């Protein structure tokens, strides 16, 4: 490889990569260029030379793709959160279908060449869809800013008008930044490691209720701030404080306490309501969540007499979609607060056929089987890291007749299908665009035992 850092080269983009970057070849060397689109002819500058590839920045487009559009966000390039906003939306959906095909081709699960992959289900209005934000806070000349780190850095980009964020949550975080400045609340910096690190704001789509979490590394007095904040924004019904004293990339620490208001906000999806405590996981895009869960219900194709396990259940949302249609539902999650929410939500809905435990799926499922609980159907909705190896082994040991895999990472999905395809047939994959303008997609996989 003869390429050097800062070298400028012409390049034709052959395809797009899993992070939304353009990919081309220069003298047989693989080149990744963020911001470039398939079919474009560009001029770029090498920024990093690796063993098998180089990275470059886009300098000039000599031949522009007809699918290139002007990004709707002023800080699109600086923020880096929306990697493909410069691609026309219908072509974003095609790209996300191609992501699945690329991942399958890389990992090669059995029979992948013949998998049915349906077109990605998109949004009619792909803007302001994020009902939750987690913004870092930093102080600049005694002025607090809230936003996100620029890609691959610890440089904060202040965000006051995010194109994909719910408008009210954006207004609230803007107000919080001003109040943090006004009341001189200690703000975290990496040298002192002291103060408010992150603020989370989440809004329930169906009820409009809002909860706020301040993540801090030290004791802070928020009484005056809370008085003003709740007066300015009456939709806020919960304010919590989470303690994270560790020097870590993890956002949350172990301890969360309610400072003001209710224990949880109320949300609804499909035909049922549920509560969300501050630490409980729920999808960022409530509108598309209805689509995603509907696809999961359709894929499992239940008859009514199944015993169902909902692994990685969170507050129980996916399992509740099945609870009135099956004999029983059991779920587990590693966050105890989420399990308490699941139990409370089931009770609230009058469900008597559900059971929830806090812990790891790979440990609890074998315990249930040893106790005599035999699941006919399984739903898994793992984090981006995919299924734990022990859980994969557990699934292959017990082999429930029906299975649905809800994935938020096409790479770990394809990896896991290598193992699952030993015992299951992939009936189809349906991708759902939960994160318009980003390089991420969700997918629902229907599996049946061979």
CA 276/CA 131 separation, integer angstroms: 13
The answer to whether 366 touches 394, Cβ cutoff 8 Å, is yes
Pairing of strands 354-358, 328-333: parallel
CB 46 within 8 A of CB 25: no
| Secondary structure (3-state) at 294 | helix
Rounded to an integer, what distance in angstroms lies between the CA atom of residue 88 and that of residue 95? 10
Cα–Cα distance measured from residue 339 to residue 280, given in angstroms and rounded to the nearest whole number:
9
The residue annotated as part of the active site, out of 44, 162, 313, 408, is: 408
What tokens does 303 get? Answer: 């008859």
- Pairing assessment for the beta strands 117-121 and 424-432 based on DSSP bridges: parallel
Q: Is 283 annotated as a binding residue?
A: yes
Residue keyed to tokens 């990004």:
71
Q: How many distinct helices (H) and strands (E) make up the chain? A: 10, 22
Residue 159's SS3 state is coil
Cα dist from 423 to 175, 207, 401, whole Å: 53, 43, 10
CA atoms of 143 and 138, how far apart (whole Å) = 8
219 assigned binding-site residue: no
Contacts of 310 (CB under 8 A, 6+ apart): 316, 318, 319, 322, 329, 330, 331, 379, 381
State the Cα–Cα distance between residues 413 and 430, nearest whole angstrom. 13
Is 79 a known active-site residue? no
Q: How far apart are CA 337 and CA 339, in angstroms?
A: 5
**Residue 312 known to bind ligand:** yes
Q: Any idea which residues carry the catalytic annotation?
A: 408
Residues at the binding site for S-adenosyl-L-methionine are 283, 312, 333, 381
- Residues comprising the binding site? 283, 312, 333, 381
């Amino acid at each position: 490889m003869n390429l050097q850092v800062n070298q400028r080269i012409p390049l034709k983009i052959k395809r797009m990569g899993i992070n939304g970057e353009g990919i081309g070849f220069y003298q047989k060397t693989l080149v990744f260029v963020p911001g470039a689109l398939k079919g474009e002819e560009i001029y770029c500058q090498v920024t990093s030379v690796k063993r098998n590839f180089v990275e470059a920045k886009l300098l000039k487009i000599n031949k522009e793709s007809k699918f290139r559009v002007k990004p709707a966000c002023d800080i699109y390039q600086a923020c880096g959160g929306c990697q493909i906003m410069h691609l026309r939306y219908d072509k974003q959906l095609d790209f996300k279908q191609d992501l699945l095909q690329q991942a399958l081709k890389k990992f090669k699960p059995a029979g992948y060449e013949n998998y049915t992959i349906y077109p990605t289900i998109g949004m009619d209005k792909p803007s302001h869809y994020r009902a939750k934000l987690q913004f870092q806070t930093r102080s600049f000349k005694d002025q607090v800013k809230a936003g996100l780190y620029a890609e691959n850095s610890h440089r904060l980009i202040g965000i006051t008008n995010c194109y994909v964020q719910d408008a009210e949550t954006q207004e609230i975080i803007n107000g919080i930044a001003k109040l943090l400045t006004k009341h001189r609340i200690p703000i975290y910096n990496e040298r002192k490691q002291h103060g408010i690190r992150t603020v989370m704001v989440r809004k329930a789509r169906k009820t409009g209720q809002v909860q706020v979490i301040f993540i801090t590394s030290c004791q802070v007095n928020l009484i005056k701030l809370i008085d003003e904040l709740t007066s300015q924004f009456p939709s806020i019904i919960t304010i919590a404080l989470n303690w994270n004293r560790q020097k870590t990339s993890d956002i949350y620490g172990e301890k969360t306490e309610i400072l003001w208001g209710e224990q949880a906000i109320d949300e609804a999806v499909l035909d049922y309501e549920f509560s969300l405590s501050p630490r409980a996981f729920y999808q960022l895009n409530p509108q598309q969540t209805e689509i995603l869960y509907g696809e999961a219900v359709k894929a499992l194709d239940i008859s009514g007499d199944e015993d169902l396990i909902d692994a990685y259940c969170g507050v129980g949302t996916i399992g509740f979609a099945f609870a009135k249609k099956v004999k029983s539902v059991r779920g587990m999650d590693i966050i105890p607060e989420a399990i308490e929410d699941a139990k409370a939500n089931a009770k609230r809905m009058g469900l008597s056929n559900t059971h929830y435990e806090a812990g790891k799926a790979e440990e609890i499922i074998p315990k249930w089987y040893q106790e005599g609980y035999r699941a006919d159907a399984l739903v898994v909705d793992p984090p981006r890291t995919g299924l734990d190896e022990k859980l994969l082994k557990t699934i292959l040991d017990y082999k429930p007749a029906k299975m649905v895999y809800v994935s938020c990472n096409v790479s770990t999905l394809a990896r896991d299908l290598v193992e699952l395809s030993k015992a299951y047939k992939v009936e189809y994959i349906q991708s759902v665009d939960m994160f318009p303008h980003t390089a991420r997609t969700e997918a629902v996989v229907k599996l049946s035992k061979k």
